[in-house]
Amino acid sequence: MKIAVCVKEVPDTTAEKRIDPSTFRLDRTSGDKMLNEFDKYAIEEAIRLKEAGAADEVVLVSMGPAKAVDSLRTGLAMGADRLVLVSDDALAGSDYAGTARVLAKAAESAGADLVLFGSEATDARGGVMAAAVGEVLGRVWITSANSLAVDGGSITVERQTDDGVDTVQAPLPAVVSVTKAINEPRYPSLKGIMGAKKKPQEVKSAADVGADAAQAGEAGAKTKVVGIETPPARATGTKIKDAGDGAQKILDFLIERKLI
């Protein structure tokens, strides 16, 4: 069995984010970049499944600029076997739907039986990509997995819900997103970091993985940002100095606003 882990290069979480006013997109041209932290849990789970004998190969799959290889190599240092990065100028401006189409094709071309995702990306916080890729592939998709077990041609997942924990069994192939509760990602060792440089790191175009660039990118986007604005400054709160009548002033304040 092959496992594909969909990963993403994101701006460093400590860096200030800036929206380009001319394109209404997140400015990704400056500042430090890193592998999305949530993706490390999916990578760790894939590696553990391989170590347990449930998988033969762990492939990292991503979409982004060619230089993203430098950030994504962290996943190879953790123990993934190879990286496939789809980098194509025609894909710039892709929305969720367009990105899902490309990632689905990349995972499919990698021969993945199981596709794993982190719960979300720190630059977007959408949390919908696993479901979108599952729909494009026409596979069973399960989100918010706290545990994952593979038994032959099926998987068993415990997933967090508002009402508790559900146990779900599904056949392979499948798409699963995992939460931070599933494991504790390992730190890359020095040997792993050095070895990562020698592992296969393929940079492919949309056509290379069978994706139609016309269905992605800005031209193929189904959503559009029409404007951005800075949130208004928070209004100064009301200060009450207690001169023996503080309780009454608070009561009057609440009554005036019909809060009591």
pLDDT tens column, 78-124: 999 999 999 999 999 999 999 999 999 999 999 999 999 999 999 98
Mean pLDDT in residue range 210-228: 91
The rounded distance, in Å, linking the Cα atoms of 260 and 44 is 51
Contact status, residue 76 vs residue 199, Cβ threshold 8 Å: yes
DSSP string spanning 63-112? ES-GGGHHHHHHHHHHT--EEEEE--GGGTT--HHHHHHHHHHHHHHTT-
CB 86 within 8 A of CB 63: yes
Domains along the chain? 2-220 (3.40.50.620)
pTM for this prediction: 0.87
Query: Is pLDDT above 90 for 166?
Result: yes
CA atoms within 13 A on the CB side of 248: 3
Cα angle 181, 182, 187 (rounded to 5 degrees) comes to 95
**pLDDT(29) > 80:** no
Give 91's contacts (C-beta < 8 A, 6+ positions apart): 63, 98, 102, 206, 213, 216, 217
CB atoms within 10 A of CB 95: 17
pLDDT confidence of 140, banded at 50, 70, 90?
very high
